[in-house]
Amino acid sequence: MSHVSRSSPRRRQQGSAVVEYTLLVLFLVLVLLANHDAIPDLIDQLKKAYTAFVYALSISWI
C-alpha cells in the first residue's frame, strides 16, 4: 500500500493566510514608498479617526 501524503486543511489555511498577509504588507510598503506624502497623510487620518473614536466613547456615557 502506498501512503499519499496530503497536508491537512488547517495547514493549507495557515499557509494561505501567510501568503495573503505577505502580499498585503508588500503592497502597502510599495504604496508608501511610491508616494512619499502618504505617510504623513496616513498619520493625520489615524489621528482624526482616534479623536473621533474617543469623542464617541466620551458621549456614550451621556
Q: Is the pLDDT of residue 42 over 80?
A: yes
Cα–chain center distance at 9? 23
- Give the Cα separation of 56 and 18 in Å (integer): 35
Write down the pTM of the prediction: 0.48
Least reliable range by pLDDT among 14-18, 34-38, 53-57: 14-18
Q: pLDDT, tens digit, for every residue of 26-35? A: 998 888 888 8
Place of cell 503592497: 27
